Chains A and B, each alone.
Chain A
Amino acid sequence: MMKHRTYSGKLLYLTDGVGEMGREWFKVTVHGDGSRTLRSLVEMDDDKLLRDVVITVGRDWKPLDAFVRLTINEEFVGTGWYRFSDTLVECEAFTSASGRASYRIPVAQRPPSLGAHPVCCDTWHTAAAFQVSQTPGTVLLPQVAMTSYLPNGGSGPELGMINLNVNYLGDEDLKVQAGTFSTRHFASLSTHAPADRPPVEVWAFSDDFIPARLRWDLLGQTYELVELEH
């Protein structure tokens, strides 16, 4: 019999003054060695963006490999594959903008996280930070890999790096459509961000760091968990 455990759910993307403008389905398997794989399917209505992400992280929440595929306005944008080791991050991609591209970035240690743009991945940044410190305060995650520098992730996929400050603000009980959860509240922001850019706020629960809610004032959007099988 299969030894892994599985949880899955759905998030809604809610735009201020508009309502539902997107949705994200996720399914995660957690394996005996502590590694876990997220499959995420994202629809963003306003940008007509459809994104598939499959990402696997180790017990330490650091990425091992990933796949990203993007379409915008019903047209192909790109497909790419990522692999992470203790010395190298690589990406093999084919995009409508750049054609075939290979990226290789030597690293001193395996990056702490990958920003592939599903809000589940935004939440996994906070899990990576929580491995560094379990008390409120700011943790700097150096060399977080990114698949796109755009706020909606609507380019590439390519390979870039940012440094990310993740601030653990404390614990909050939070009620969303999927239930009431005891969450950890974080705010994360790239160190390269403009001075007036607001952080991404994340409320995540359990040691699986399941997103109950995210809020990003930059996009005027709130992301809420509406379905969960756990």
Chain B
Amino acid sequence: MDHRTYSGKILYTGDTLGERGREWFTVTVQKNGDRTMRSICEMDDSEILRDVVYTVDRDWRPLDAFVRLTVKDAFMGSGWFRFADDFVECETFTAETGRLSQRIDVKERPRTFGRHPVACDIWHLAAFNLSSPEKIQTWPNAMSSPLSNGASGPMIGLGAITVEHVGREEITVPAGTFQCEHFRFLLKDRPPEELWCTVDDYLMVRIRWDLLETTYELVELTR
């Protein structure tokens, strides 16, 4: 096989709750630059189990994705997403809505797709132009759920994402010490989400979101 693979584990730690969830991911990067992430998330307090298989091209633009959700050990939804230059489509079946087909025309392929694993949150940042003098940038994105914990759908939502580049920092987490870029999701009526990642593979190292009083850290990495 010619692709390279890296994998890891992320812990979700609440300020007072302690460990409140975990996420495993495996990424393959192929010779043409396409990369696929498989992610499994467990969120203990909300009892969410989420599977995501998500592929982007060499420019980190979304190609296709699969999302499956259970909440409180019961089926919530299963959906398949595909992205073209002029439309986004989703075939989905959810406990709430039954079978649904969505097709939304777009002027350009969304730069990023939010499926809610925190390893995927980081992949949004690949759309940030670090060579630009603009430290705050906005671009169109798609989401599989508008909820903070992603516990609806899956189905398509379109919006925009605004990100601030804070700077370069060295971050130490249980998986090691990493040279990171520090970014900030600027969110309307909510505290910003702080993110630290490497920019070679846009590897998630740490995320802090005061809204959920939770820190997310890379605790295992194999590559």
Contacts and interface: CB of A to CB of B under 8 A. Distances in A.
Interface residues of B, number: 36
Contacts of B3: 50, 74
A69 B81 CA distance: 12
A150 interface: no
A81 B80 contact: yes
Interface residue tally on A, bucketed by range: 35 or more
B38 interface: yes
Contacts of A52: 36, 38, 53
A48 B38 CA distance: 19
A79 B64 contact: yes
A67 interface: yes
B64 A69 contact: yes
Interface stretch (A27-35, A127-135, A211-219): A27-35
Interface of B: 1-3, 24, 26, 28, 30-32, 34, 36, 38, 40, 42, 44, 47, 49, 51, 53, 55, 63-64, 66, 68, 70, 72-75, 78-80, 82, 91, 93, 99
Given A31-B74, A54-B51, 5 more contacts: A2-B42, A54-B66, A64-B75, A83-B93, A100-B82
29 contacts: A1-B44, A2-B42, A2-B47, A2-B49, A4-B49, A27-B24, A32-B73, A32-B74, A33-B73, A33-B74, A39-B40, A39-B51, A41-B26, A45-B1, A52-B38, A52-B53, A64-B75, A65-B78, A67-B53, A69-B53, A69-B64, A71-B30, A74-B2, A75-B30, A75-B32, A79-B64, A79-B66, A80-B80, A92-B80
